[in-house]
Chain A
């Protein structure tokens, strides 16, 4: 599994691993989706643009996941797959999806992206 939830008393911490930066976004998106709708099946039916921004890989990852969260909060857009210009996903469907929890934010706390021979590794804390 490219993401793994870590023990954290107040919020939810997740460790992401991937072989590339977009792979890291995908792992983060998968973790975020599990937090939001659990393991309910979701399909990449529509695309929404997300502009990549941030001075470094850590900032870019935080902003990317923050933008995905914004789309869920305002449009009920369940994120599924990273695309070159944004994300694919589908509108929340009460018949298929369970609204598991509210995520307030993707925080900067302890966030870091590390790159070595083994690939990309990141830790992100979601404020829930």
Chain B
């Protein structure tokens, strides 16, 4: 495959074969070297074959192999002639991240850190089969969650209206259709609301270690040394099952609508078809479940903070922002000088809207949308803001994380003779985990250095660095 260099951070795969458009990769030389021979680039070129794709098929610097679409991919489709694809969203629908900023300074938190981690571990169920004993939803109530997302949680006292302003889409997608979610999916998700899950999901306590834009950081409540809480999770078993259910539907729809694909995993349906519309309703409902899930976890994190640092401290713990990593959305973007409605698939990519965008709450209009980029549990994470350049070049999108470099098997081998929990503790990072296997598979070396990824998007102008956050404690599944 021919890959042409455009500039220091942009690479192009020219249109060839059945590609309807070119592919655009954001990466520096080192990341491109790592990508050589990786199936992810071929997957990106495959996405460019899909009907109705507009603009290039785009890869972020954290691109890696995914199911059909690569992870770290963005693709937009014309609303009339385009398609919607579950593979372009992923199994964990609206997997995402939220960040809380506390009024606590790191030096005041350190003496009570072990206790804080214990309280968080106790308050937010993690690991396989984690369920909340204090929340049992019947089907009617679960349908309300699927319809109203984070608002459902706020109306029941889990957070306040200010939280909703700081969530992508205000924490509720209007196109949700709970009736399009199967009974099986509802069964899988019924007792998992408010739980973190396992794998790469986590709750992480950190502090603001470095600032790149003092003014914006201050506006987001991220002063130097501020203690933060990152929450990374998604739609749990409910979302996985929605994806699984609709892959079967879409495999049939692909044949029914005569869509030719280079890879069966790109199965899709026209956006306006009955199959496309049903997936859309179910996917939006699962996304709302994920918003409510993270809202509940944030509430319980605040309660843990309240028990140790007092009610006032918990009340002053603000939601910085909550972003989706795996989602498809109808948005208006400018193409060939004209506004056009498109369906943007972001899979392992983050929306990064610029200052002035009307979808942002007034308090973010002059700074742009906060973008949260978690790294591995040993190094650092970043807060960025969206840019005009992201809006014009990448359908308002940027990267989402570090991306794995080692398989889980390799990571476990590497960790076998070590005590990763002790090692991290020696570096000032306390780990609370349900399973040693998860910790071993998630060792920091299993991931790329997220700084490399973030530096590329910052240098390319599709995201702007605001702050670096270093971990001091992590709850893993």
Contacts and interface: CB of A to CB of B under 8 A. Distances in A.
- List the 9 closest A-B pairs by CB distance, nearest first: A99-B128, A102-B198, A104-B240, A104-B91, A9-B407, A102-B128, A100-B437, A74-B187, A105-B244
Nearest to A94: B129
Contact of A7 (B187, B243, B407): B407
B206 interface: no
B409 interface: yes
Interface residues of B, number: 39
A10 B404 contact: yes
A46 to B, nearest CB: 18
Interface in A33-68: 36, 38, 66
Contacts of B437: 38, 100-101
6 contacts: A73-B237, A74-B188, A101-B437, A104-B91, A104-B237, A105-B243
A109 B435 contact: no
Interface string A97-128: 01111101101110000000000000000011
A88 interface: no
Interface of A: 5, 7-10, 12, 36, 38, 66, 70, 73-74, 76, 92, 98-102, 104-105, 107-109, 127-128
B264 interface: yes
Contact of B92 (A7, A10, A104): A104
A99 B127 contact: yes
A12 B103 CA distance: 41
A102 B65 contact: no
A109 B265 CA distance: 6
Contacts of A127: 67, 91, 240
Nearest to A102: B198
Contacts, number: 79
Interface string B230-248: 0000000100110110010
Contacts of A101: 128, 198-199, 435, 437-438, 441
B167 to A, nearest CB: 24
A109 B66 CA distance: 9
Contact of A98 (B92, B241, B405, B435): B435
Given A74-B187, A99-B435, A108 B91 contact: no
A8 B407 contact: yes
A70 to B, nearest CB: 6
Contacts of B240: 104-105, 127
B407 A36 contact: no
Contact of A5 (B129, B187, B405, B409): B409
B69 to A, nearest CB: 11
Interface string B85-109: 0000001100000000000000000
Contact of B404 (A9, A12, A107): A9
B67 A109 contact: yes
A105 B68 CA distance: 14
Contact of B64 (A9, A12, A73): A9
Contacts of B198: 101-102
A10 B128 contact: no
Contacts of B408: 12, 128
A73 B441 CA distance: 21
A55 to B, nearest CB: 10
A127 to B, nearest CB: 5
Given A100-B437, A128-B199, 19 more contacts: A7-B409, A8-B407, A9-B404, A10-B71, A38-B437, A66-B244, A73-B188, A98-B435, A99-B435, A100-B435, A102-B128, A102-B197, A102-B477, A104-B91, A105-B240, A107-B67, A107-B91, A109-B265, A127-B240
